[in-house]
Structure 1
Amino acid sequence: MSELQVNKPIFPPIRACIFDVDGLLINSEDIYTEIYNNILHSYGKPSLPWSIKAKQQSRGRSGMLQLLDWAQLPISYDEWTAKVSAQYALFKDCKPLPGVSELLSNLSRSNTHIAIASSATTKTFAIKTSHLPFITSACPQECRVFDDDPAMSETKKKPMPDVFLLALGRINEHLGPGEGELKPEECLVFEDSVAGVEAGREGRG
């Protein structure tokens, strides 16, 4: 009896890696949870459950509004974000997740293009990573896309793929001599949130 032949998909070589930041490169999602719980507890509310955080994570204003709807706090969205911003100093203690330093180093040595596509703002990224130079040195400034990028808007946030496609576009704008344009299928997206994974998959077209 002959063995069944299984058609295996053939993937092109990976020429670029696009990274989310929070909860992926650094432990900042743990700190976000700490901040959210500090606010919730100050109003006598329970800690944030994962079922709610998973719906909020990486979804911008719409995700945060889902959290506030669950919490039923007597404050507005703007008041909530102000209370979160007041605790940003906690992000100065962010630590890299296991293996991140080695991964970025290996990718840099292999001449793989590296970009960042994050729902964080430029300001919070700086706070979270200013003491982690191996992250900022691995990814060129021109290949970073954040929530406050002029090309982003609320309608383009994850799970829409725009942030990853923008990052890919930035890579292609800064290719070296003789390098052919990168296609989405030649990029590997690293994500930790449900919305981010959905965005990465959508970006393949």
Structure 2
Amino acid sequence: MSKIKACIFDLDGVIVDTAVYHYQAWKRLANQLGFDFTEHDNEQLKGVSRVRSLEIILAIGGVTKAEAEREELATLKNTWYVDMIGKMTPDEILPGAKEFLIACRDAGLKTALGSASKNSMMILDKVGITDLFDAIVDGNKVSAAKPDPEVFIKGAAELGVEPSECVVFEDAIAGVEAGKNGGMKVVGIGQPEVLTKADIVLTGLDKMTLDLLDTL
């Protein structure tokens, strides 16, 4: 076995895909404000905080709001989003994710979640895989956004391993950079031409094996 002792997973786009629910909630908000928000527009929000996402959407619609009202709008969007993810089922786990998590644990590797989402626990509970993680570090435990490596560094600390002994699984450019900034190996989930800083890039965890970990 290689020196890898732990795998740290981002949630969105790696284990489940809640991006569709974020998009539907933002689109509903834009429509309520009197303009449309397309899937093409939505590309600008990938890996971006809720506050910054709202700023981008208001700019797209040419709408100006005072700070208090912006906070209300962000909260409203989140309420709709939480309502949608509250209906998630185990069928929404991405292909191979649960199987690879189980394989890691069977091989004696530690597993952690490293996600900016404050709704991580709810999502993991809904899809039934909370018990496959030794540590869960989410938006309730960290203050710095990726590409700051705080979420992954905390994950390693909670697992009791060194950053150099961890592999991060990420689908966003900022997330890949966060893993590298933390001194970790990174497996990108997505397109090689986009996630250029990852050590390897796969289309999903269904393509990941323990043997591949040994090559990192």
Q: Per the shorter chain, which TM-score range?
A: 0.7 to 0.9
Q: Within the alignment, does 1:81 sit opposite 2:74 as a pair?
A: yes
Could you say which residue in structure 1 is the equivalent of 2:26?
36
Q: Which moved more, 1:160-169 or 1:64-73?
A: 64-73
Contact 1:93/1:128 (8 A) holds in 2: no
Structure 1 counterpart SS, 2:23: helix
Counterpart residue type for residue 185 of structure 1: S
CA distance 1:116–1:41, change in 2 (3 Å): same
Q: Which moved more, 1:52-61 or 1:76-85?
A: 52-61
Pair 194,62 (structure 1): closer, same or farther in 2 beyond 3 Å: farther
Question: What is the TM-score of this pair, normalised by structure 1?
Answer: 0.76
1:1-205 to 2 correspondences below 5 Å: 12-50=2-40, 53-61=42-50, 63-64=52-53, 65-75=55-65, 76-87=69-80, 88-94=82-88, 95-121=92-118, 124-133=119-128, 135-140=129-134, 143-149=135-141, 152-153=142-143, 156-172=144-160, 182-204=161-183
**Contact 1:57/1:195, CA 8 A, preserved across alignment:** no
Q: Which has the higher contact order (CA 8 A, sep 6+)?
A: 1
Q: Deviations over 1:145-174 (max 9, x none)?
A: 11121xx22xx21111111111111111xx
Corresponding residue SS for 1:189: strand
Query: How many Å apart are 1:55 and its aligned residue?
Result: 4.3
User: Hey, which of these two has a bigger chunk of strand by percent?
Assistant: 2
Q: CA RMSD in A?
A: 2.3
Q: So what's the TM-score if we normalise by structure 2?
A: 0.72
Distance of aligned partners of 1:184 and 1:148 in 2 relative to their CA distance in 1, 3 Å threshold: same
Amino acid at match of 2:21: I
CA distance, structure 1, for counterparts of residue 162 and residue 15 of structure 2:
24
Aligned residues: 176
Change (3 A) 1:196 1:55: farther
| Mapped contact 1:19–1:115 kept (Cα < 8 A) | yes
Larger Rg: 1
CA contact (8 A) 1:37 1:48 kept: yes
